[in-house]
Structure formats: C-alpha cells, structure tokens
Amino acid sequence: MATAAPVLAPGAPAALGAFTASAGPGRTRLDLHVPAIRCAGCIGKVERAAAAVPGVTRARVNFSTRRLAVEWADGTLAPDAVPAAVIAAVEAAGFEARPFAPQDAAATAADPESRRLLKAMAVAGFAMMNIMLLSVSVWSGAEAATRDLFHAISALIAIPTIAYAGMPFFRSAAGALRRGRTNMDVPISIGVVLATGMSLFETLTSGPHAWFDGVVMLLFFLLVGRYLDSMMRDRARAGVAQLMKSLPRGAMVVGPDGASEWRAIDEVAPGMRVLVAAGERLPADGVVEAGRSAIDRALVTGESRPEPAAPGTAVVAGTLNLDGPLTVRVTGVGEASFIGEVVRMMEAAEQGRARHVRIADRASRLYAPVVHLLALVTAAGWLLAGAGWHFALTTAIVVLIITCPCALGLAVPAMQVRAATLLARRGLLLKDGSALERLAEVDTVVFDKTGTLTLGRPEPVGALPLAGDEAAEALALARASRHPLARALARALAGTAPAVLFDVRDVPGLGLEAEGPGGPVRLGRPDWVDPALAVTAGPDELVLAFRSGGGPARLLRFADPLRPGAAEAVARLEAMGLAVQILSGDRAEAVDAVADRLGVAVRAAAQSPADKLAAIGALAAEGRRVLMVGDGLNDAPALAAGHASMAPSGASDVGQTAADLLFLSDGLDAVPEAIAIARAAGRGVAQNFALAIGYNLLAVPIAIAGLATPLIAALAMSSSSLIVVGNALRLRPARAAGPVRAVRA
Amino acid sequence: MTGLALLIPLALCAGLIGLAAFLWSVRAGQYDDLDGAALRILDDEEDEAP
C-alpha cells in the first residue's frame, strides 16, 4: 500500500506558482488532485477547508474527477502563499492534495468530446421531436399545399441540424477514407447525405415523401450511442490517476556550500546531492552518500521486506525512505531513471494491445460492403424491371436509410455502459469498452503476489506475545517509527493506551530505544534487541523483537496476509475454466508459501519487470489470452502486455495507468466477478447484434420492394433501438454473488 | 390554416427555449460532475455560497 507521503518537501512553496493558471482577469486558479474524496462528507470538508483560507473566493470539488478547483483574487497575497496555504488546509482536514502539473491537468480535463456529443445529441433530439410533430400530420393525411409547407419547414429544421449533429460522423468518415479505410461512419455518412439530398429534391418538387424525420432520428439514436461510449471513457479516465504522480515533484538539493534548496524535479540533474527525509519517496535514482535507513521497495519491485540502506547502496526513484534522513547522489532523473525505463517498456507493450479490433468495428467491416451492394442491386434491379430513374434511386436510398445501423450503433455501447455500471457497483472501474471485450476472452489469469494476492501491508501472526505493560510500551515505541512493521504493530495495538516513555531514539537500521521504568526499552531487529533470542519464523514472515528493561525478549512475527476471499477467488476462477499462475518479484520462499496456501501450482519468483513482460509474451505466443492482475511498478509492463489487466486501487500510479480495470475493494473476489460480468456482457452484445440483424431481415425486403414509407422507417428504427437498449438493461452477471456490497465508484 | 400559422411557430419556440436551456446547462458545467451532485445533497452542514 502506498503510504501517504508528503509530496512537497518543507520549503516547497517557491515552486507552486508553476501549477497555477489564470481564471479570468485578476484571478488565479489552481487545480489539486485529492484522491481520498470518497463520500458526501468529504466534499463538504475539503471545500470548507479550502474556502476558509484567506483570499480564496471559490473552492469547488469535482467528485467525478477527484479534483479541487480553487480560485483567488490576485494581489491580495503573495502569489505562492495561497496554494501552499490551501494544500496545508486540505491536508490538515485529513486529505492528501497534490498539484497537477500543467501537462497532467490537460490530460485529465473533462473531455470536450463528450460535451460536443451531448450538445449534438440535444440539437438532434430537439429537431427530431419538432420534425416528427410535422410528420405526424403528413402521415395522417395532410395534402397539397399543407404537406409541402410541412416538408419545407422540416427541411429548414433538418438541414442545419444534420450539418451540426452529423459532424462527428462526417469527420470520422472523412478521416477513415483519407487513410484508405472504412468504418461504421462511412455508410452512415453516405446514407445521411444521400437521404437529405433526396428529401430536399422531393420537397422542392412537391413529392409525397420526405425523409427528414428518418435522417434526424437516425442521427439522434447514433449520437446517444456515441455519447454513452464517450461518457464511459471519461468516467474511467477520472478514476485513474495520472502517470508518475506519486513521484515527488521536486527535491531538496544540497548545494556545494552545504545549503539546501528546494528545486522542481526538472531542475534536478545527475551528480546533484539531494536530501531525503524519513517518510519521503525518493525523487530520483541514486547512490546513498550519507545516512542509514531502510527502504520500502514493495511498490517498485514487489519485495515485501524493507531493504537496509547505507552509504554506497543504490536506490531507486519512487521507493519510500523509512527510518532516517539520507543524502543521495543522483544518478538518473525522469526518463533516465528506473521508472522511466519501466514506462518505456510499458509503452512498447501497449502497442501490441492496440491490435485488438473492437466488435463494433469488426461488424462494420462486414456491414458496409453488404449494405452498399444491396442498395446498388436494388437500384439496378428496379431499372431493369422498367421502373423510372427517380423510383429506382429513391428506393435505393430508402434501403440505405432503413439499414442504417441505428440498433447496431446502440447494441455495443448500451451493453457496455450497463456492464460498467454493474462493475462500478461492485467497486470495479472500467477504463474502456474494448477492455470489457478483451476481458471476456481471457483464458489464463496471472497474479502478482505482493499487494495483489496479499494486502501489501504486514500484520501480526497470531496473538502478540506481549504481557502487561509491555503492550503499552511497545505501542509508544511503534508510534515513533514509519517502518511498516512498527506501523503494523501500532495498528494492532490501537485499543491500548500508550505508555509514557522518555528519550525515544531512532537507531537507523536497527530499531527504536527509550528509557522505561525498568531500564531501556527496545523495539527493532532481533539480533540488536537481544542477541540470545532464538528467531523462529516461517519463510514468508518478517520479525521484530521487543524487550522491556530486564524482562524477557519477545519475538513479534508479521506476515503480509492474503486478501480476503483470495482462496475463494482462485477456486472460482479455476471453476470457470481459467488457468491460474503467480508471477512475483519477491523471494522464492515467500512466493511458495502464498502459492501453496492458494493451491496454485504454476509460480515464478524473483521476476524483474522484463522477466514478467517476457513471461506474458511467452503465454501469448502459446495462444493464451492472459489477464494480468498486478499492482507494482514492476508489473506495469506485464499489465500493458496482457490481453486484459486489473490492478487494485492501492497500486502504484504506473500500474494503475497500465491496467484496464481497477478494483476498489480489499477482496480479491472482484477478479472472477469482473470476468463473469464481462462474459455476460459479451453474450448480451451478441444477442443485440442478433436482434439488430433480425430487424434488418424484416425491414430490408420491405424497402427493396419499394413499399417503405417514412412512417415505417420511423417505427422500425425507434422500436429496434428500444429493444436493444431494453436487452442491455436485462444484463445480470451469471451468478448473483451474495449480498452486493455497495462501493461508490 | 390560421391556427397553424400560430401554433407551428409557437411549438418551435417552446422547443427552442428547451434546447437553449439545455445547451446553457451543459456549458455551465452542470453535467461535469454527476456523481458529486448526487452526493452533495447528503452533506448536512450549511454551505457558504459556492
């Protein structure tokens, strides 16, 4: 689990001005990422905390994107004072707040695409209703001048609407044609343009049928599908953190004269010396020059045991400095660091995944030639049969409108939005619809160990062997340390009142010592607390020792516990016909202990990020479709390479970015649940396609025969769209898994 | 026919007003945070002017 480390070193404010933006004349705006906003109360707390800062005129939380926008008037205070005060106020309220770098802010801004689609949908909806109003009169028998007038008014409403609301389709079709390809939008655009032209001609020549209502209705239904799709992508993107955000944005650089100064991360260069306080993440790769401490690498390498660090130890950016301050000589920053390399590997792996062709696109490859051929054959057939040019062309265009993929355009997005809602209710965030399609095809599940199968935080094994006042003294010492075992001990002893100890000292690399009533009290490495203490611990366990004065030394054993429901989840996956494997960066003993308990036979330990990537590649080469479940930075390339991937919400930022789905719950039952929902959605999409094709089989013969009227088209289109949406709402996962825990997405 | 001359513009006007109101609400950001809007109602404490 990521420990909430202060992002900005003390003295940081000087650089905060870089994160602000202008919000109109005389006003400045700062966007902060506040990931811990999870409830209604949080919104109020964060907003009130930020609004209470002097000078702030507006503080507004966007819950969907977990961001806080703060505005203040310029000139009342020093430009950098407000951001620092706001961050301090929000953190004092108990929420971690991080500034967005300008490039991140752009990447996470609400997608203007969604807004554009929503507006286009509104315009099409308005036009559809008004044209329908006029069409109903025509259908019910308006004649001669009245009919012509109604057609003319319809044209006046429809033509600007088609020009505006049809733009997303025209643009996408033009883009595809320019690259020499076709997509679903090409037949749509051709159909819309031809039908509009034909209707205009009919209107001008006082013809009996104008198809403006059908064209606008078609656009409306298609835009609904597009908007649903785009909305789902936005929602998922908001749930996913930005790349590398937990890397410190700056570092305390020690100058040649010994004075230290806060610099933004861009200004940190190899060869500089940086100061890393206890509890901070390392800003860059480097070598320790001074200080002793322990480094928690769990999020970076998957190792569950903190590593000691002393002068000469190489350290990696993103790892957490636990015990004491370190001076580190920087060897690699940003792109050149270990993280940069992992990100490069991940990006390379992602390109392979782009080969997946979405179901809708596969369908459109078949669909477009068939429909165009059908229209051509219709025109040719009627000409041969002796009908006039006008009738043959009109009938062919009607075939194009009738077959236009109203229901097809809704078949996939409606089902995927429904599935995403079901997933969100179970605490699963889906990044895009294509992930759902890929997840349904998975046949092998590969788990990382630390943080994925396990919770990634140590907990005491059995009851703590502490008697009487020892518990109170141990708690007092444990509270003074950031070491993960000390924190676990403090959590386990939470109900106890801590003893009052004097002169608590942190002995870097060894433990904590204080003066107790009966002599020195120590908590730390067993060989330091009492060299005579016999250490008996399982292979996946970590130990601490505690001794109060002259009393006996106590051995405290800790293990990283399995996630709740891990064994059930593995069993259920196997029952679903999936092969399960473990791929971990941790020591072999620790991996074996977990794998044996879960009954997973195929396992590999001590895997580097490149090893994991290669292992996934090998499985893919065997023709398997792999679901990778992992959390660490070291899993990121494998997550990107997997056919589909999942990460727990406590995952490293890079891991979250690489994964298709995030699960917010502690329990591992989210994994089989997600696959079950994805499979159910896959079946639903197939049903929807069958329904849409069935509708075409009914309607197309009528159109080819020249019997279709605008009334028939309107009825057929709206009813088939409603049926498809109704079928999507029917979606339930194959097995209702007990009482559903409501987790807000 | 005189009825039509009155009613059709009236119907169109009513529709346009609805459309304009909707477009305004989109532009004003009312659709940007649908989840948050659902939760804000649950916050008991008095809000200062947002």
The pLDDT value given to residue A13? 41
How confident is the prediction for chain A on average, in pLDDT?
A: 79
| Residue B39 to residue A115, Cβ atoms within 8 A | no
Q: Does residue A14 have a pLDDT over 60?
A: no
A558 near A541, Cβ under 8 Å?
yes
Provide the token pair at A449: 């160990």
What is the pTM for the complete model shown?
0.74
The pLDDT value given to residue A197? 93
Judging by beta carbons within 10 Å of its beta carbon (0-12, 13-18, 19+), is residue B45 exposed, middle or buried? Answer: exposed
Contacts of B34 in chain A (CB under 8 A): 64
Q: Which of A31, A285, A448, A653 is catalytic?
A: A448
Confidence grade of residue A441 (pLDDT, cut at 50, 70, 90): confident
Among chain B residues, the shortest Cα distance to A62 is held by B33
d(CA A459, CA A484): 9
Reported as half-sphere exposure (CB side, CA atoms, 13 A), residue A560 has a value of 24
B28 touching chain A per CB within 8 A: no
Q: Does residue A123 have a pLDDT over 90?
A: yes
The predicted model gives A54-60 an average pLDDT of 84
Q: Does residue A741 have a pLDDT over 50?
A: no
Q: Does residue A356 have a pLDDT over 60?
A: yes
A639 sits in which H/E element: helix A636-641
Name which of A51, A61, A119 is nearest B26 (Cβ-Cβ). Answer: A119
The predicted model gives A23-34 an average pLDDT of 76
Contacts of B2 in chain A (CB under 8 A): none
Reported as half-sphere exposure (CB side, CA atoms, 13 A), residue A146 has a value of 16
The pLDDT value given to residue B50? 46
| Residue A65 to residue B33, Cβ atoms within 8 A | yes
d(CA A176, CA A184): 10
d(CA A196, CA A200): 6
Reported as half-sphere exposure (CB side, CA atoms, 13 A), residue A38 has a value of 12
Give the gap in angstroms from C-alpha A136 to the nearest C-alpha of chain B.
13
What's the angle, vertex CA A244, arms to CA A614 and CA A263, rounded to 5? 135
Q: Mark which residues 63-102 of A lie under 8 Å from B by CB.
A: 63-65
| Percent of residues, chain A, with pLDDT higher than 70 | 87
d(CA A723, CA A411): 10
d(CA A168, CA A684): 27
The pLDDT value given to residue A16? 60
Q: Residues 6 or more apart from A54 whose CB is under 8 A from it?
A: A76, A77, A85
Give the gap in angstroms from C-alpha B4 to the nearest C-alpha of chain A.
10
A405 near A188, Cβ under 8 Å?
yes
The pLDDT value given to residue A191? 87
B23 touching chain A per CB within 8 A: yes
The pLDDT value given to residue A235? 64
| Residue A110 to residue B45, Cβ atoms within 8 A | no
- Give the DSSP per-residue string, B14-33: HHHHHHHHHHHHHHTTTTS-
Residue A579's SS3 state is: strand
The predicted model gives A257-275 an average pLDDT of 79
| Residue A146 to residue B32, Cβ atoms within 8 A | no
Confidence grade of residue A742 (pLDDT, cut at 50, 70, 90): very low
A745 touching chain B per CB within 8 A: yes
Name which of B19, B22, B42 is nearest A40 (Cβ-Cβ). Answer: B42
A543 touching chain B per CB within 8 A: no
The pLDDT value given to residue A161? 95
Q: Does residue A733 have a pLDDT over 70?
A: no
Provide the greatest CA pair distance for chain B. 58
| Percent of residues, chain A, with pLDDT higher than 90 | 7
d(CA A64, CA A429): 12
d(CA A497, CA A518): 19
A289 near A327, Cβ under 8 Å?
yes
Question: What are the backbone dihedrals phi and psi of residue B33, each rounded to the nearest 5 degrees, phi first?
Answer: -140, 70
The pLDDT value given to residue A738? 42
d(CA A711, CA A75): 65
Residue A631: other Cβ atoms inside 10 A: 32
Q: Does residue B49 have a pLDDT over 50?
A: no
Q: Which residue has the higher pLDDT, A448 or A323?
A: A448
Alpha-carbon separation of residue A568 from A27, A278, A365, A581, A674 (angstroms)? 55, 39, 42, 15, 14
Confidence grade of residue A637 (pLDDT, cut at 50, 70, 90): confident
Q: Which residue has the higher pLDDT, A474 or A154?
A: A154
Provide the token pair at A121: 């949908």
A702 touching chain B per CB within 8 A: no
Contacts of B11 in chain A (CB under 8 A): 130, 133
CA A610 to chain centre: 23
Contacts of B41 in chain A (CB under 8 A): 40
Give the gap in angstroms from C-alpha B5 to the nearest C-alpha of chain A.
11
Residue A147's SS3 state is: helix
| A396-416 pLDDT per residue, tens | 888 888 887 667 778 888 888
Confidence grade of residue A720 (pLDDT, cut at 50, 70, 90): confident
Confidence grade of residue A342 (pLDDT, cut at 50, 70, 90): confident
The pLDDT value given to residue A10? 38
| Residue A40 to residue B35, Cβ atoms within 8 A | no
Contacts of B39 in chain A (CB under 8 A): 39-40, 43, 63
| Residue B36 to residue A62, Cβ atoms within 8 A | yes
Q: Is the dihedral of CA A429, A431, A436, A439 positive or negative?
A: negative
Give the gap in angstroms from C-alpha B37 to the nearest C-alpha of chain A.
8
Q: Is the dihedral of CA A293, A299, A303, A305 positive or negative?
A: positive
A625 near A641, Cβ under 8 Å?
no
| Residue B26 to residue A60, Cβ atoms within 8 A | no
| A201-227 pLDDT per residue, tens | 999 998 888 889 989 998 998 898 888
d(CA A272, CA A330): 6
The predicted model gives A337-362 an average pLDDT of 71
B5 touching chain A per CB within 8 A: no
Selection from A19-23, A122-126, A677-681 with the highest mean pLDDT: A122-126
Q: Which residue has the higher pLDDT, A391 or A541?
A: A391
The pLDDT value given to residue A4? 36
| B1-40 pLDDT per residue, tens | 677 788 888 888 998 999 999 989 888 878 777 778 888 8
Number of helical H runs and strand E runs in chain B: 2, 0
CA A659 to chain centre: 7
The predicted model gives A16-36 an average pLDDT of 72
Contacts of A61 in chain B (CB under 8 A): 36
Structural domains in chain A?
12-108 (3.30.70.100), 112-238+358-374+389-414+680-729 (no CATH), 250-346 (2.70.150.10), 428-456+563-664 (3.40.50.1000), 459-559 (3.40.1110.10)
Name which of B26, B33, B47 is nearest A64 (Cβ-Cβ). Answer: B33
Give the gap in angstroms from C-alpha B13 to the nearest C-alpha of chain A.
10
Q: Does residue A389 have a pLDDT over 90?
A: no
Give the gap in angstroms from C-alpha A199 to the nearest C-alpha of chain B.
21
Active site residue A148: no
The pLDDT value given to residue A12? 42
ipTM value, please give it.
0.81
Ramachandran region of residue A363, left (φ > 0), alpha (ψ -120 to 50) or beta? alpha
| Residue B36 to residue A64, Cβ atoms within 8 A | yes
Q: Does residue A325 have a pLDDT over 90?
A: no
